[in-house]
Amino acid sequence: MSDRVTASLLALALAAMPAGSTSPSPTIRTSGCLAAGDGYLRARVRGAIDLDLDWKDAQMQCDGAPRPRGENNKSSGVRVTIGGPLRGNARRIRLVFGISGLDEGASGATLRTNVTLFFEGENRVFATLGDDKCTTDSVTQNRVESLGGERAIYRIVARGFCIGPASNPAGTERVVITSFDFAGRVEFGDDDRHEPTPPHP
């Protein structure tokens, strides 16, 4: 899918959201990030907007889940959503990290990553429109909660950077997330676990 088509779809998605909201998920945890209170996010943003973010667990809203699996049931990685503190008038900054090729409980290094930066309450968003502009240098996952049945929460710790820009849907503004470092959560359920396909005889 081209950047132009992706940008158009992103603009349509924003237009369809309720006024004052650009939240990418309705199921985000609303009180803190992790049960142990050890979530955090640090990020440096430069360009059309300059930001130095430093959020602690109690200020954050967190969510995370596997991304849809690709061909041959291959993992497409995880999507981690972290929102920061309210800034008045229902405004909040939220980042979404799509880390490729990461299975449940796995660690990794040098993983392609896409990043979306939402400004809730301002109808403003920046997206890398692909996973070729950002890299997660290192990532680990540790199981921290069981939710009954086969559902489990993992603490995911990741660090990385971007060398390419995230653009607004119109393509008129750009920012570069020069570094990011976070501890958030990812929830896996039974539907996310797949047995390997046996070889053909």
Query: 152-162 and 92-99: which strand pairing?
Result: unpaired
Give phi and psi for 73, each to the nearest 5: 60, 25
The structure tokens listed for 108 are: 């990794």
Give tens-digit pLDDT for 57-107: 999 999 999 987 765 556 689 999 999 998 888 899 999 999 999 999 999
Mean pLDDT value of segment 170-192: 91
pLDDT of residue 117: 97
Mean pLDDT value of segment 8-24: 42
SS3 content of the chain, % helix, strand, coil (to 5): 10, 45, 40
Give tens-digit pLDDT for 23-60: 444 345 556 899 999 999 999 999 999 999 999 999 99
pLDDT of residue 57: 96
Give tens-digit pLDDT for 158-174: 999 999 999 999 999 99
pLDDT of residue 201: 41
As a whole-number percent, the residues of the chain with pLDDT over 70 amount to 75
d(Cα 134, Cα 167) in Å, to the nearest integer?
A: 13
pLDDT of residue 68: 79
d(Cα 23, Cα 68) in Å, to the nearest integer?
A: 20
pLDDT of residue 191: 62
Q: Which residues pair with 56 in a beta bridge?
A: 40
- pTM of full prediction above 0.85: no
d(Cα 98, Cα 139) in Å, to the nearest integer?
A: 12
pLDDT band at 152 (very low <50, low <70, confident <90, very high): very high
**Residue 123, SS3?**
coil
Give tens-digit pLDDT for 100-145: 999 999 999 999 999 999 999 998 999 999 999 999 999 999 999 8
Domain ranges of the chain: 3-191
d(Cα 163, Cα 147) in Å, to the nearest integer?
A: 38
